[in-house]
Structure 1
Amino acid sequence: MKRIAVAAPLLASLALATPIHAQSLPAQPFEPFTISDIRVDGLQRISAGTVFTYMPLERGDHVDQAAAARAIRALFRTGFFNDIRLERQADILVVTVQERPAINKITLVGNKDIKTEELNKNLKEIGLAEGETFDRLQLERVVQELTRAYNNRGKYNVAVQPSVTPLDRNRVDVQIDIKEGKAARIRHINIVGNETFEQDELRKGWESNTTNWKSWYKRDDQYSREKLSGDLEKLNSYYLDRGYVDFDVESTQVSISPDRRDMYLSANVHEGETYTISEVIVTGDTIIPHEEMERLVLVRPDTIFSRRLLEITSDAMTALLGNIGYAFANVTPVPEVDRENRKVKINFYVEPGKRVQVRQVRFVGNTRTGDEVMRRELRQFEGSWYSQSAIDRSKIRLNRLGFFSEVEIETPAVPGTDDQVDVVFKVTETTSGSFMVGLGYSQLAGLITSLSVSQNNFLGTGNRIGVAIQNNAYSKRYDVNYFDPYYTREGVSVGYNLTYYELDQSNFNIATYYADRGSARAIFGLPLSETDSVGLSFGIDYNTIRPVEGYTAQPIVDYIDALGQRTFHAWRTELSWARDSRNAYWNPTRGTYQRAAAELTLPGSTVEYYKFNYQFARYWPVHRALVLLTSAEIGYGDSYGDRVERVIYNEDGTVAREVVADGLPFFENFYAGGVRSIRGFEDNTLGPWATAELSNWRQPLGGALKTTGSFEAIFPTLFDTDKTRLSAFIDFGNVYRSANDFEFREFRGSAGVSLQWQAPVGPIVLNFSYPFMSDRDDRTERLQFSFGSQF
């Protein structure tokens, strides 16, 4: 056992000092002796115990030249010391060391292309980190690695200059100055040996390209070794997907101009001949019937060989087995190549492995949300067979809750078994509620002040509750709402809404009048499947209309006069169906959303009418960086009660006018135009309009028929967060007085770009639009925006 011994007093007159240095052993003979004690001199930060731990000598050992050399080498291997000497004083072994300095601080200057956090992480892996022992060889290695990293990014003019500043207490500061320079530009790309396909065709989808008008954004003309390797793999795949089994990239040449600013790339290829499929078989332990597996095969005899179809088939078979518990199944397409006849026989060899059960489902990172709230969204259960599709579906359902900014899945094997795994959902929670006293602004409503308490995940239960007071230029609004998405274990949801409005529509983009509205509603929902649900609601409301004499549009005045009252009561019910297969709550990239709702006021209401509304949205993933969205909305309403006609008389008894109340009530009309509906036109201004006696401005009335649609190209990867998206859109549609008035030539259309951000203060929308189908009397807006919390 090595022990720290107390050094004896230095007796210079008796000591026989025979130093043994790190670099070389002394020329004179080293007289062996037995160590009675060991003393370590020169230590500052490192403890003597550390030296004894690494040194292969201890008290009582016999030491000679060879043993001393081994001890020095062992201590040098620790990397803690610049110099080591062994001396003998009587029978005491004296170890004299000079420690390497410690790194006090590392400073990176000039790096822009590679983030400081990433560089510090890489430096730490090499061993250069604050608090660690400084080694100049490691610093030289860092310079080489940084230069190589920048070269791989096409920056060949990079200069990396380290400097070391000594400090007291044997410490140093390390500063690394980086002059990145400019990336070398690709001036020419040449593929040599291609006879069947043109170069432009072969290079479609390449990340490397010569300078073009999009290079300022895509930076595709900046050379990178990784990008070129990926492009050559795409080239290989292109030929293999078209039957060229013998295709080969024989060589590549990358040359650089003397000033290290221009790159020239060349690839020499051998195309070979096309091969066809001679036979396709499925072998191995398929578990499920061969016929079912063979139905998944996409390649057929006498068709052109395609590696992509082989991979798709293999993945489909693996997924099928994974969905019935074979989590580690492997399907390998084994080709037998007949080069003489240019034929390929394909054998899909199936290795299912053991069937796997899920032992536990665990959640990590849910600091607020209860496990039961997450568990009820799962489709993979404990104790059941592993199913990849059930796990994927569970992830989608968790994402769609809106409680988490990120959901990751791990399936670690259970130690000691080969047929069990655990499923671990790692989540990062996001803000799901707020207490807010805020300001907002929209071009339509002006300044918006609001006081709101809202929580979409109340006390971690998944229930939604909210109380809000909002005030702006045209309305005061008070809301109280509650919603329990799992009122029963089967998923029946229950919600309640109480709302009160005071509207001053003289400041709004619809017909001028004052109104007080109040409503109470109970809402019930029932899931039918993973994507489908139905809803039912019952409610009561009242609506008091106060026209402004001389300023309210005549059709509204006539409707009120025909009924002879200004307060409308309604018992209403709504039946709805929804299908939602979108893959995310915010900014989905695939899936469909549909909702159809029919609303009816019951007999006994002041006005008996119905409304139907259908919404559709489909997300088409075209590429990782591009999603197409097609959407449409149709709304229609009408009265089903008796037509009301009334004659209004003058004071002298003569007929002043005849008025009629028929069709959908004006206060239930549909509107279009604005930040979220046919962008480029002012809010609610499309469709029928009228003027009043004392005002000649066009007052939008809305209509009983609404038809709108949109095509949108979304770029989901432009930002690092899924809370923000940029898109280019084309909107079209209009609002009509009734179905009989519908005409395609009355459609309005606009095109533009939209930026949307789910900010902590509420949704922020910024649109720039160009109305390309409009009427000269339409009220258009090129720039539209809205921000702040709105309810």
Structure 2
Amino acid sequence: MTRTPNRRLLALALATAMTSAPVIPALAQSADPFALGGSTPNTPAPGSFTVSDIRIDGLQRISAGTVFTYLPVERGDTMDSAKAGDAIRALYKTGFFEDVHLDRQGNILVVTVTERPAINKLTLTGNKDIKSEDLLKGLKEIGLAEGETFDRLALDKVTQDLSRQYNNRGKYNVEITPTVARLDRNRVDLTITVKEGKAAKIRHINLVGNDKFEQKDILDGWESREHNWLSWYRRDDQYSREKLSGDLEKLNSYYLDRGYVDFSIDSTQVAISPDRQDMFLTAGLTEGDQYKVSSVQVTGDTILPKEQVEKLVIVKPEQIFSRRLLEVSSEAITASLGNVGYAFAQVNPIPDVNRENKTVGINMQVVPGPRVNVRRVIFQGNTRTGDEVLRREMRQFEGAWYSQAAIDRSKIRLQGLGYFENVDVESKPVPGTNDQVDVVYNLKETTSGSFVFGLGYSQLGKLTTQVQLSQNNFLGSGNRVSVQAQRSYYQERYDFSYTNPYFTDDGVSLGYNVSWRELDYSDFNTAQYSTTSGIGQVVLGIPLTETDSITGMLGIDSNEILIGRTVTPPSIVDYLDALGRRTFHAWRAQVGWGRNSLNHALTPTAGTQQRVWIEATLPGSTVEYYKINYNFSKFWPLSRHLVLNTRTELGYGDSYGKDVSRLIDRDGPNGPLPPETITATGLPFFENFYAGGVRSVRGFTDNTLGPRQSSLSGGSYAQPLGGAFKTTGSLEMYFPTLLDTPAARISAFLDFGSVYKSYDDFDAGELRASAGIAMMWRSPMGPISISYAFPFKKQGPTYSADGKTQLDRGDELERLQFTFGGTF
């Protein structure tokens, strides 16, 4: 009888040793939970019993059914120490419990658990470099989210991972402090406090072993830079492991592109100062010898004529070897094959290195792969825009051979609509096939119009009240509709316009414009007169190519002129007197040509936009005249940080047909004067061009540049008249990455231009010029434009010969200019 307890203790000790660590306290605290059964063959083995029932104690939030789902023991099972270990491990594995105990009451198995608390609230504070939504998404993936079960090990893992992420961004002083606050009902509040600190700055970069090239030339293309005066903008002095890895690859490419085939990076060292604020980078390298190209051949299945493919190879014998030229040649061949359906074509440049002669023979092996058919073109993210509006812009069609050029062109056309902030495209292979793909366009829609009922303000129009419905994508149909009623300091207007850009399936557009307006030019910074006009127009557009189109317009308008003889400049009064009328009727026609290759309608960074058009009143109109306009704008992407925009605008107008002359009676101080002949010639004054202001030459008051004339009442203020010839231009440097949003841009500009009475009066010395900075923002309430300019070529006041009388006060300056309100 004394040996039996020893066997039981031995079995218990072995079971305890074989189970995981959490089982030890559970079994150790059970005082002989499983008593011996019978000793006959039909009874349970010693140290086991048959489970008649199972009871779960300690549950608060988790249901007993959930525990039974994971518990590998059921009624009627024989329970022993091995199964006890399995049961405890299974329950711990769920992650729901901090502690698990197994006990026995008779033949009832008692499972006592201590639940892990639930996360009531999760708060992040102090994080700026990494957005909270990104962090919360990552925390949720590892189980740290509100409503989930709290796991201390997961919290420790998060702390370590966050520290690693900040270290990769160069912030080595970061402090991650998690706080756990216990609440009632077995809940906790988690707070993760981040003290990011300042990023360590790269104080010095040293290359060891570069004898052929200067260090400054090698480092010119690196993202990692030593601390400099532009680092506040570029942030290129902040160390990160990823940036350094990319820069070392650029170092390797620098030498391979210059023929150093045996180049190698022998060592890299990153040292940090004791205060963790300064970084010192060192790279040891071996340059080797320079190699030339001995021969170039194209092999494999070229699909296209071999001679045509060989012309795409820009690497030639006797050239210095360049890996970049090899890549360009390979990309040109794969692009050509991609345009005829071979989406997965590859070109493998196989080098044959002769180290004795320092030459490399190149074999461009072409592997076309299967010819690929596009099964479906899919659009994702277009919640407002109709599917047919997008499909009519497609140049890659379903069921057609894959063409990379057509896919890229389709993307450009979608971006040109102006409906989308972002357009991304990807080709997804169709599962189960090797010759079909789906082309997926991922779209992010933006405001293509708005309903405005409210206020706007500009320095020219002052306070503006308006009600406007403007929609460039009306009800997702792609049609443009605008209805507007507006009242401002200088005008009252009512407009309606409608354009169907696809009046025909070939892309012929048709539109209508109707408007009525009262405009007081004296408040428009121009001469003292006002007009009341009504306009009706029909506009037709015909596409010629992917980028070119012609437009035509036919319209009728009526324009009534109101003047005050003593306050209106004499040239305007004389013109009206010569015609003997104040109301002008016109049949108007316009024809124009335009080209648009911009890569984006809202925020372009590359491409050209230009338009030339001539507008004329038809014979039989009150006044017969014509106007020629030319606008040009080109965006030059200089780098990821800089985009240069060059633009110019030219305008010229004149009358055609016979001049109109009349004899006008004049009254003098002593009685009637002899009649005077007055002639109406040239472009009518109410069609003159104007310059100056936020939309032309910034820094000068709107519409004030060019010819001026005092009124009959005299005075030192000469009123702007505008002119028949206009020339303006601008150089503007945009900083796309300075603001972290595509809806806003900051730029530095140089504007120049002026207006002249006629082309014959053009004098380059009379051009005005200014420089400054500007910000444009497509806000939810409408576009906002703010600029601050320094006019450096301007005309100051003029005085009489004795210097006592001011004859003219000179150019009107307005350094700070802005507009707010309106629609996109």
Give the equivalent residue in structure 2 for 1:23: 23
SS at match of 1:623: coil
CA distances 1:373-424 after superposition (whole Å, capped 9, x unpaired):
1111111111111222212211221222122222232332223322222223
Give the equivalent residue in structure 2 for 1:491: 507
Say if 1:103 and 1:133, in contact at 8 Å, map to a contact too: yes
**Are 2:722 and 1:702 equivalent residues in the alignment?**
yes
In the alignment, the residues of structure 1 paired with residue 741 and residue 545 of structure 2 have an alpha-carbon distance, to the nearest angstrom, of 31
Output aligned runs, 1:318-717, within 5 Å.
Answer: 318-650=334-666, 654-696=673-715, 697-717=717-737
In the alignment, the residues of structure 2 paired with residue 300 and residue 420 of structure 1 have an alpha-carbon distance, to the nearest angstrom, of 36
Output aligned runs, 1:49-64, within 5 Å.
Answer: 49-64=65-80
Task: Report the CA distance between 1:286 and its aligned residue.
Answer: 1.9
CA distances 1:339-370 after superposition (whole Å, capped 9, x unpaired):
22222222222222222212222323322222
Structure 2 counterpart of 1:721, from 724, 732, 741: 741
SS at match of 1:411: strand
Give the equivalent residue in structure 2 for 1:736: 756
AA at the equivalent of 1:82? E
Tell me, which stretches of 5 or more residues in structure 2 are unaligned? 1-11, 37-45, 797-809
AA at the equivalent of 1:784? Q
Task: Report the CA distance between 1:189 and its aligned residue.
Answer: 1.6
In the alignment, the residues of structure 2 paired with residue 587 and residue 717 of structure 1 have an alpha-carbon distance, to the nearest angstrom, of 12
Deviates more, 1:566-575 or 1:401-410: 401-410
Give the equivalent residue in structure 2 for 1:758: 778
In the alignment, the residues of structure 1 paired with residue 174 and residue 673 of structure 2 have an alpha-carbon distance, to the nearest angstrom, of 95
AA at the equivalent of 1:779? E
In the alignment, the residues of structure 1 paired with residue 233 and residue 614 of structure 2 have an alpha-carbon distance, to the nearest angstrom, of 48
SS at match of 2:751: strand
Aligned CA distance change for structure 1 residues 532 and 284 (closer, same or farther; 3 Å): same
Task: Report the CA distance between 1:525 and its aligned residue.
Answer: 0.8
Task: Report the CA distance between 1:26 and its aligned residue.
Answer: 5.6
Aligned CA distance change for structure 1 residues 713 and 305 (closer, same or farther; 3 Å): same
SS at match of 1:269: strand
In the alignment, the residues of structure 2 paired with residue 758 and residue 170 of structure 1 have an alpha-carbon distance, to the nearest angstrom, of 49
Aligned CA distance change for structure 1 residues 671 and 103 (closer, same or farther; 3 Å): same
SS at match of 1:222: coil
Give the equivalent residue in structure 1 for 2:41: none
In the alignment, the residues of structure 2 paired with residue 48 and residue 615 of structure 1 have an alpha-carbon distance, to the nearest angstrom, of 77
AA at the equivalent of 1:560? L
AA at the equivalent of 2:210? N
Tell me, which stretches of 5 or more residues in structure 1 are unaligned? 1-17
In the alignment, the residues of structure 2 paired with residue 365 and residue 665 of structure 1 have an alpha-carbon distance, to the nearest angstrom, of 51
Task: Report the CA distance between 1:790 and its aligned residue.
Answer: 7.2
Output aligned runs, 1:176-195, within 5 Å.
Answer: 176-195=192-211
CA distances 1:229-250 after superposition (whole Å, capped 9, x unpaired):
2222222222221112222221
Output aligned runs, 1:86-235, within 5 Å.
Answer: 86-235=102-251
In the alignment, the residues of structure 2 paired with residue 177 and residue 744 of structure 1 have an alpha-carbon distance, to the nearest angstrom, of 63
In the alignment, the residues of structure 2 paired with residue 162 and residue 563 of structure 1 have an alpha-carbon distance, to the nearest angstrom, of 85
Give the equivalent residue in structure 2 for 1:315: 331
Deviates more, 1:738-747 or 1:59-68: 59-68
Task: Report the CA distance between 1:37 and its aligned residue.
Answer: 4.0
Task: Report the CA distance between 1:653 and its aligned residue.
Answer: 6.3
In the alignment, the residues of structure 1 paired with residue 531 and residue 200 of structure 2 have an alpha-carbon distance, to the nearest angstrom, of 67
AA at the equivalent of 2:812? R
Give the share of equivalent positions with the same residue, in percent: 61
In the alignment, the residues of structure 2 paired with residue 42 and residue 95 of structure 1 have an alpha-carbon distance, to the nearest angstrom, of 9
Say if 2:495 and 2:516, in contact at 8 Å, map to a contact too: yes
In the alignment, the residues of structure 2 paired with residue 169 and residue 762 of structure 1 have an alpha-carbon distance, to the nearest angstrom, of 50
Say if 2:233 and 2:738, in contact at 8 Å, map to a contact too: no
Say if 1:607 and 1:641, in contact at 8 Å, map to a contact too: no
CA distances 1:575-611 after superposition (whole Å, capped 9, x unpaired):
1111111111101111111111011211111111111
**Are 2:806 and 1:786 equivalent residues in the alignment?**
no
In the alignment, the residues of structure 1 paired with residue 263 and residue 223 of structure 2 have an alpha-carbon distance, to the nearest angstrom, of 21
AA at the equivalent of 1:660? T
Deviates more, 1:682-691 or 1:84-93: 84-93
Say if 1:671 and 1:685, in contact at 8 Å, map to a contact too: yes
CA distances 1:199-242 after superposition (whole Å, capped 9, x unpaired):
11111132222222222333333322222222222222222211
Deviates more, 1:519-528 or 1:621-630: 621-630
CA distances 1:101-152 after superposition (whole Å, capped 9, x unpaired):
2222222232233222222222223332222222222222222112222222
Give the equivalent residue in structure 2 for 1:40: 56
Aligned CA distance change for structure 1 residues 132 and 650 (closer, same or farther; 3 Å): closer
SS at match of 1:320: helix
Say if 2:784 and 2:821, in contact at 8 Å, map to a contact too: yes
Task: Report the CA distance between 1:654 and its aligned residue.
Answer: 4.2
Calculate the aligned-residue CA RMSD, in Å: 2.2
In the alignment, the residues of structure 2 paired with residue 599 and residue 189 of structure 1 have an alpha-carbon distance, to the nearest angstrom, of 62
Say if 1:438 and 1:789, in contact at 8 Å, map to a contact too: no
Deviates more, 1:491-500 or 1:359-368: 359-368
Give the equivalent residue in structure 1 for 2:7: none
Say if 2:125 and 2:193, in contact at 8 Å, map to a contact too: yes
Deviates more, 1:222-231 or 1:378-387: 222-231
Output aligned runs, 1:266-285, within 5 Å.
Answer: 266-285=282-301
Q: List structure 1 segments (4+ residues) > 6 angstroms apart after TM superposition.
A: 18-21, 27-30
Say if 1:103 and 1:131, in contact at 8 Å, map to a contact too: yes
AA at the equivalent of 1:106? L
Give the equivalent residue in structure 1 for 2:807: none
In the alignment, the residues of structure 1 paired with residue 297 and residue 65 of structure 2 have an alpha-carbon distance, to the nearest angstrom, of 67
AA at the equivalent of 2:123? T
Give the equivalent residue in structure 1 for 2:6: none
**Are 2:269 and 1:261 equivalent residues in the alignment?**
no
TM-score by length of 1: 0.94
SS at match of 2:694: coil
Task: Report the CA distance between 1:526 and its aligned residue.
Answer: 0.8
Say if 2:771 and 2:790, in contact at 8 Å, map to a contact too: yes
Number of equivalences: 775
In the alignment, the residues of structure 1 paired with residue 665 and residue 152 of structure 2 have an alpha-carbon distance, to the nearest angstrom, of 104
Aligned CA distance change for structure 1 residues 318 and 715 (closer, same or farther; 3 Å): same
In the alignment, the residues of structure 1 paired with residue 494 and residue 288 of structure 2 have an alpha-carbon distance, to the nearest angstrom, of 75
In the alignment, the residues of structure 2 paired with residue 106 and residue 224 of structure 1 have an alpha-carbon distance, to the nearest angstrom, of 29
Aligned CA distance change for structure 1 residues 336 and 70 (closer, same or farther; 3 Å): farther
CA distances 1:24-64 after superposition (whole Å, capped 9, x unpaired):
39688971344444443333333334334334444444443
Aligned CA distance change for structure 1 residues 148 and 650 (closer, same or farther; 3 Å): closer
Say if 1:190 and 1:265, in contact at 8 Å, map to a contact too: yes
**Are 2:339 and 1:306 equivalent residues in the alignment?**
no
In the alignment, the residues of structure 1 paired with residue 561 and residue 823 of structure 2 have an alpha-carbon distance, to the nearest angstrom, of 24
